[in-house]
């Protein structure tokens, strides 16, 4: 799914999302098959598969001289307990086949426990290879403000539940204070689930960095995403 620059409306990055189109049952919700993979202990295989697919997409576009933007990949809390998986990610980042920083990683607050146990080892090892760390779904649960100081995330992604406050006076005040706090930490802010022009204008006035949501684009298959990039960059 494209992520656009709030100021220019141009594509700035993207998030790689998993969708399962079952030959008989049609589209299966990630809310069903992701927990199943976590329970079976196979989620890290999927995570690593996505890393390789994203890397290959970026590499192929660069070889053809096409416009390329950084792509973020979601990591499960279980990935941080899989040493083979983490080492595999680091090795993929070290090949030199794509520029540093083109692959990013998103984690949710469900990963806090794993990160707190080995935050210096895992996060620093990934960052050492130029990858940024994004905190996803901020505001969707019991987000710990103290974790923002401990984990040192590069980008905070505001959950849609916060964006839906826009239009409510008290909700807008809350969003204002949240963004000011995050900006004081030097973190960039991406607003998720943005669907209306009013939301876009409000977020621009908050100096939000990037916007993601159906207002600009729904999640797209790779070929349609490449068309989106071409239309919005000419490359």
pTM: 0.92
Cβ(85)–Cβ(50) below 8 Å: no
Cα of 137 vs its chain's centroid, Å? 9
Q: What is the DSSP letter of 77?
A: G
Q: What is the pLDDT of residues 50-102, one digit of tens each?
A: 999 999 999 999 999 998 999 999 999 888 888 899 999 999 999 999 999 99
Reported as a single tens digit per residue, the pLDDT across 150-201 is 777 899 999 999 999 999 999 999 999 999 999 998 999 999 999 999 999 9
Q: How far apart are CA 77 and CA 217, in angstroms?
A: 28
**5, 27, 99, 229 from 69: Cα distances, Å:** 12, 27, 11, 9
Q: Two tokens at 88?
A: 């595999």
Residue by residue, DSSP assigns 53-92 as HHHHHHHHHHHTT-----EEEE--GGGGG-HHHHHHHHHH
Residue 31 above 60 pLDDT?
Answer: yes
Q: How many residues does the chain have?
A: 235
Q: Tokens 């998030």 sit at which residue?
A: 15
């Amino acid at each position: 799914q494209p992520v656009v620059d709030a100021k220019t409306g141009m594509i700035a990055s993207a998030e790689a999302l998993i969708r399962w189109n079952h030959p008989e049952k049609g589209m299966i919700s990630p809310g069903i098959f992701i927990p199943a993979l976590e329970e079976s202990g196979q989620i890290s295989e999927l995570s690593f598969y996505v890393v390789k697919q994203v890397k290959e997409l970026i590499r192929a576009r660069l070889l053809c001289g096409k416009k390329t933007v950084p792509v973020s990949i979601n990591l499960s809390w279980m990935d941080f307990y899989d040493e083979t998986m983490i080492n595999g990610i680091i090795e993929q980042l070290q090949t030199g086949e794509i520029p540093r920083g083109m692959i990013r990683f998103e984690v949710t607050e469900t990963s806090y426990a794993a990160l707190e146990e080995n935050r210096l080892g895992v996060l620093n090892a990934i960052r050492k290879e130029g990858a940024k760390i994004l905190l996803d779904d901020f505001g969707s649960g019991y987000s710990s403000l103290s974790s923002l100081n401990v984990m040192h995330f590069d980008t905070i992604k505001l959950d849609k539940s916060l964006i839906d406050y826009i239009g409510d006076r008290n909700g807008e005040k809350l969003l204002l204070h949240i963004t000011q706090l995050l900006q004081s930490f030097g973190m960039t802010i991406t607003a998720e689930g943005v669907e209306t022009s009013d939301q876009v204008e409000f977020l621009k006035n908050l100096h939000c960095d990037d916007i993601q949501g159906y207002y600009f684009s729904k999640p797209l298959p790779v070929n349609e995403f490449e068309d989106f990039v071409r239309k919005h960059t000419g490359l």
